[in-house]
Structure 1
């Protein structure tokens, strides 16, 4: 005869099993396409093999769309880890919607470059670093450019395209040119806007989407443009006759982060995943697979990869690192100036 005690024990055991099952699942929100294939092979499968935690991959939304969902749900978006950028990390910390990381919860944070980590704030674990590169058609230019000055050469008049101000590349390029011409990244940006007004006379137009900008290069109408190096490498690998460079004057990074919403259901597993992604071996696998840079300077990667990416302390020290919180606050004002001073100069 089944007793009440037996039923209670059985129910408790079932509850424990269900609870344990839930604890061993993790939902990671990130990107689709080539990114999905690489992260599944290089990061997620090894993480599952080591921990026994099942990862459900959710390749829906951009970084800004993901953060909009986190905000709309007050930190309960239905996923446990989000791949975003330093800008969303700072916003999420300010809004109290993202978990703060410490070396207690994510020990490998201690291995990241401090300056790069500070750019992402306490709620962003930097797993990848790209940079604003100079992309050019190798079959069109007489010599490989090494400086941002190349964009101003007569050879490229009518052969470049620029991003609209809705694409952060626009503000970043203005900041780089500001520093190059005696200004700074945030307060004295007049030299940057003056340089952009001159550069605007070289362009065939402005496009918001990086993907659309790319079509002009593929078609041969554009011979050079600013472009994120990760996308530049993918374009190069696809067979288009292009190459890219970190200009000698320096450049601004695009800092990608791992984030955990405050309402994540599988928070312990999420922290394990973040720490795993930041491990030396994981960073080496990611950098060689996705061909991006790392905030860890102790990784060992082939020279062919290292020479094109941000992978050493020296590389990191050469980056121009604007305060992203201040940059975000200045974007509305800069956007107005862009229309008045840059777009109007192109017309």
Structure 2
């Protein structure tokens, strides 16, 4: 009897052993580079701390990397001796890193979680790091403004003159606004942005800044601007933190997804732990936690998001129907051209 019980217990222990060993063998430190401020604070709570609890032998060091352009520059400078293991950055910049061999390709055989992602999330990075968050451009406005803006075309209201803050290209907000304005005017950014340039030129005299500093949300809260372009996730969080002093409008004319990808650095010195973190960040649990905490739309199609939080993202069915299909890799090829046209035709008209 005793012998049989021992055999059964040994068998159960053997079945459980692989998972236990996997958790125990992950150790050491990894460095995650991404955005500072409220992104870092909330990502640490929602994603990093649960990962470290699941893998107590691993410490995740979060390094604020500045803008996506600064991040890819840092990884490029470290190429011969990588100091960073995982990078979360904008897709228009991570694609540059992919082309330069800075990041690894991720295969479903090693990362089964890739099969849970939405098609556009997988497509964002191609064979490289996929989308880890979706955000979208919104019009941020002072809640005391009367009447409130109800559509993108309302930006051209005469009473807003001198109170508009726009982030112009090469800022990705300006690129997104260009595509949105072209669609509002009945065009297609893939064919031409002539209609957008004409319309934005009309708006330019009413714009107080084309380079919001520190950002459009703060300019509104400080009374410098009435409306601004911004990202939904941050606008939603700032709205909560300020008791609703600002709000975010997803224009009925449409908006576009801004995509952050998660990237495994080529030559990572602790690849096993770094790969485990990438898989965790894309998992249903991590995606749910971060969406419900900071209102980035999830990229894992199986993540079950609380309805109240989902409604504040572009992932709800009614909001998703408004999104304009945008190929950021194609826009990246046109970025310099769009930037030059903004300088010549739009910004010049606001001086």
1-side partners of 2:257 and 2:171: how far apart?
14
Q: TM-score, normalised by structure 1?
A: 0.86
Alignment of 1:223-302 (within 5 A): 223-239=226-242, 241-302=245-306
What residue is the counterpart of 1:44 in the other structure?
48
What residue is the counterpart of 1:111 in the other structure?
116
Query: Counterpart of 2:266 in 1: which secondary structure?
Result: coil
1:99 aligns with 2:108: no
- Aligned partner (choices 207, 220, 223) of residue 220 of structure 1: 223
CA contact (8 A) 2:141 2:227 kept: yes
- Aligned partner (choices 26, 30, 39) of residue 26 of structure 1: 30
- 1:34 CA displacement: 2.9
2-side partners of 1:316 and 1:100: how far apart?
29
What residue is the counterpart of 1:84 in the other structure?
89
What residue is the counterpart of 1:17 in the other structure?
none
Superposed CA deviations along residues 58-108 of structure 1, whole A, max 9, x for unmatched, are: 323122222111112226430211111212221122112210112112211
- Aligned partner (choices 66, 71, 75) of residue 70 of structure 1: 75
Cα distance change, pair 43–212 in 1 and its aligned pair in 2 (3 A): closer
2-side partners of 1:264 and 1:299: how far apart?
28
Cα distance change, pair 280–218 in 1 and its aligned pair in 2 (3 A): same
- Aligned partner (choices 196, 199, 208) of residue 200 of structure 2: 196
- 1:177 CA displacement: 0.5
Superposed CA deviations along residues 136-161 of structure 1, whole A, max 9, x for unmatched, are: 1111222x333101101123222212
CA contact (8 A) 1:128 1:295 kept: yes
Moved more, 320-329 or 333-342: 320-329
What residue is the counterpart of 1:131 in the other structure?
136
- 1:207 CA displacement: 1.4
| Count of residue correspondences | 326
Cα distance change, pair 113–336 in 1 and its aligned pair in 2 (3 A): same
2-side partners of 1:282 and 1:22: how far apart?
19
2-side partners of 1:122 and 1:312: how far apart?
27
- 1:313 CA displacement: 6.0
1-side partners of 2:169 and 2:31: how far apart?
33
What residue is the counterpart of 1:8 in the other structure?
none
2-side partners of 1:212 and 1:221: how far apart?
11
CA contact (8 A) 2:170 2:336 kept: no
Superposed CA RMSD = 2.2
2-side partners of 1:129 and 1:147: how far apart?
22
1-side partners of 2:257 and 2:60: how far apart?
30
- 1:251 CA displacement: 0.7
Query: Counterpart of 2:133 in 1: which secondary structure?
Result: strand
> Could you list the runs of 5+ residues in structure 2 that have no partner in the other structure?
1-23
2-side partners of 1:112 and 1:262: how far apart?
22
Superposed CA deviations along residues 117-136 of structure 1, whole A, max 9, x for unmatched, are: 31333222211111100111
CA contact (8 A) 1:131 1:251 kept: yes
- 1:191 CA displacement: 1.1
Superposed CA deviations along residues 158-215 of structure 1, whole A, max 9, x for unmatched, are: 2212223232211210111011212212331111111111121321232154x34333
2-side partners of 1:242 and 1:271: how far apart?
39
What residue is the counterpart of 1:15 in the other structure?
none
Query: Counterpart of 2:64 in 1: which secondary structure?
Result: coil
What residue is the counterpart of 1:176 in the other structure?
180
Query: Counterpart of 2:42 in 1: which secondary structure?
Result: helix
Superposed CA deviations along residues 296-315 of structure 1, whole A, max 9, x for unmatched, are: 34332333311110334664
